[in-house]
Homo-oligomer: A and B are copies of this chain.
Amino acid sequence: MIYEPIFLDVNSEVPMYRQLYGSIKERICSGCPAVGEKMPSIRRISEELGVSRTTVEQAYGQLCVEGYLVSRPQSGYFVEAAVIEKTTLPTDDMTDDEPEPTVQYDFGSRYVDSRGSDLDLWRKYLRAVLSREDIVTSYGHYQGEPELRRQLAHFGSLLRGVNATPERIVIGAGVQPLLSLICGLLGERAGRVGIEYPCFPHAERVFRDFRLDITALGHDKYGVKPEELYASKADVLYLNPSNTESMGRPMPVSRRAELLEWAERTDGLIIEDDYNGALRFRSLPVPAMQGMSDGNRVIYLGSFSKLLMPSVRLSYMALTPELAGLYRSRCASYNQTSSKTEQLALAEYIRDGHIEKRLRRLRKIYSEKSDRLIALLNEYFGSIAKIRLAETALCAELILQSSQTPEELTAIALAGGVRVIPADTEHGAPKLRLSFAGIQSEDMPEGVRLLHKIISPYCQ
């Protein structure tokens, strides 16, 4: 009798039928009653355990749903399957998420200056959206909220010279989901991708995940060399013309025109990642390359993480008309990734003109902060390092004479309480980056002094 050792607790918060279900399941899984055996009737269990027939019916019903029991008309319930569940928790070799080290002076790039962050205003817009019930209880538009796409078409045209209608704009939670979308839309057309190194590692990751061929393209002082591009047989070119990292400045218009000509001639496609393209403070922003073309060969990618808040995952792209048509024909199988609430808050924030005000304010703040940081670095490191401004990255670069790697120097600095960003090496000299985006101006002098004290013993 399987029900003999079953004890049900009438005072428990767990419903009776659930207790009974659990007990029977446990017994079946331990092999008694065995597979094929007939179960006692509902009436009999009900009488012997002193529970209602409904309780037993519910327990048996659930066991049937899960496949442990089967009900055969006119003959009763039988054990259908016994499965030994492995309930031991897996032991991982992985360590838990590492605790953050104590950082006194943070020249890392994970924060933005809260003075420039318009936090109260942003909260106001989010709250206004949250108060609209119909918005929160329904799914968003697959392509991104139409109102935000309208605002972005206008904003992109005004501030970046991008030519796109709202129908060609697709919103996503960062550049990676958008690049994944592009790779999917291109299909076999994207066989080989040409990239200029150093490139945004998150973009390269997506191309690698899609198992595309990646060709590293050489560059001269104007950027990617057109002859290498032709020779590479690339179908797609990924680049950031408003901030070519290898040059530390925008790509000149003549080279842009040559690359657009490549696309026309070879039926190629250019993915223009305009990361922080609008946020220049030493000169005017250079208009986007997409706007120099007829829009049939260039996909434009823009992002708001530095412009708005790093916590807001919101990027957008302007597809070519051809790819936009393909995307829309597949719309039923794509979901939007970006938060609907944040999209609608951003639409109203842009509509009310705040993004331009914010850009002006950020330009002022970053211009002052970069001047201050460069001056401090010259004061302390002038004799032992080359110092450079990476404008769009919101960083100063420090190229040191040291036998340590950038990663080693970063770890030494961090142990002393200063966070910096390891970069690559230049002619063997390790390069560190110091972001001025997050740190407060008044903390810079002491931060640079401390950094100098910590790492100068490791420099010649």
> Which chain B residues lie closer than 8 Å to A335 at the CB level?
174-176, 202, 313
Please tell me if the beta carbons of A166 and B96 are within 8 angstroms of each other in the complex.
yes
* Cβ of A433 to closest chain B Cβ, rounded Å: 15
How distant is the Cα of A188 from the Cα of B141 in the complex, in angstroms? 33
The answer to the question of A332 belonging to the interface, with a C-beta cut-off of 8 Å to chain B, is yes
Given contacts A92-B165, A209-B183, A312-B339, contact A67 B137 (CB under 8 A): no
Nearest B residue to A89, CB-CB = B163
Nearest B residue to A35, CB-CB = B254
Please tell me if the beta carbons of B136 and A321 are within 8 angstroms of each other in the complex.
no
Please tell me if the beta carbons of B311 and A92 are within 8 angstroms of each other in the complex.
no
> Which chain B residues lie closer than 8 Å to A166 at the CB level?
96-97
Please tell me if the beta carbons of B96 and A122 are within 8 angstroms of each other in the complex.
no
* Cβ of A251 to closest chain B Cβ, rounded Å: 7
How distant is the Cα of A111 from the Cα of B139 in the complex, in angstroms? 7
Query: Would you list which residues of chain A between 325 and 351 have a CB under 8 Å from chain B?
Result: 325, 328, 330, 332-342
The answer to the question of A36 belonging to the interface, with a C-beta cut-off of 8 Å to chain B, is no
Please tell me if the beta carbons of A65 and B321 are within 8 angstroms of each other in the complex.
no
Query: Would you list which residues of chain A between 161 and 213 have a CB under 8 Å from chain B?
Result: 161, 163-168, 172-177, 180-181, 183-185, 187-188, 201-202, 204-206, 208-211
Query: Would you list which residues of chain A between 280 and 336 have a CB under 8 Å from chain B?
Result: 283-284, 286-287, 291-296, 305, 309-313, 321, 324-325, 328, 330, 332-336
The answer to the question of A93 belonging to the interface, with a C-beta cut-off of 8 Å to chain B, is yes
Q: Which of these binds chain B: A79-87, A269-277, A398-406?
A: A79-87
Please tell me if the beta carbons of A310 and B138 are within 8 angstroms of each other in the complex.
yes
Nearest B residue to A251, CB-CB = B67
How distant is the Cα of A110 from the Cα of B205 in the complex, in angstroms? 33
Please tell me if the beta carbons of A311 and B122 are within 8 angstroms of each other in the complex.
no
Please tell me if the beta carbons of B127 and A94 are within 8 angstroms of each other in the complex.
no
User: Of B133, B161, B180, B311, which contacts A137 at CB under 8 A?
Assistant: B311
User: Of B126, B135, B222, which contacts A130 at CB under 8 A?
Assistant: B126
Please tell me if the beta carbons of A284 and B176 are within 8 angstroms of each other in the complex.
no
Is the interface on chain A under 10, 10 to 19, 20 to 34, or 35 or more residues?
35 or more
Query: Would you list which residues of chain A between 98 and 143 have a CB under 8 Å from chain B?
Result: 110-114, 117, 119, 122-123, 126-127, 130-131, 133, 135-141, 143
Please tell me if the beta carbons of A202 and B80 are within 8 angstroms of each other in the complex.
no
Please tell me if the beta carbons of B310 and A336 are within 8 angstroms of each other in the complex.
no
How distant is the Cα of A92 from the Cα of B67 in the complex, in angstroms? 55
> Which chain B residues lie closer than 8 Å to A185 at the CB level?
209
How distant is the Cα of A340 from the Cα of B65 in the complex, in angstroms? 38
How distant is the Cα of A313 from the Cα of B311 in the complex, in angstroms? 14
How distant is the Cα of A311 from the Cα of B336 in the complex, in angstroms? 10
* Cβ of A89 to closest chain B Cβ, rounded Å: 6
The answer to the question of A371 belonging to the interface, with a C-beta cut-off of 8 Å to chain B, is no
Further 6 A-B residue pairs, CB within 8 A, beyond A67-B256, A92-B167? A65-B284, A138-B438, A140-B313, A173-B177, A173-B339, A313-B336
User: Can you report 17 A-B residue pairs in the complex whose CB atoms are below 8 A from each other?
Assistant: A62-B283, A67-B250, A83-B292, A85-B291, A92-B165, A114-B137, A117-B137, A123-B130, A123-B131, A126-B126, A138-B438, A173-B337, A174-B337, A184-B206, A210-B210, A311-B340, A312-B339
User: Which 10 A-B residue pairs are closest in the complex by CB-CB distance?
Assistant: A67-B252, A184-B209, A81-B254, A205-B333, A173-B337, A311-B340, A339-B339, A139-B310, A67-B253, A201-B333
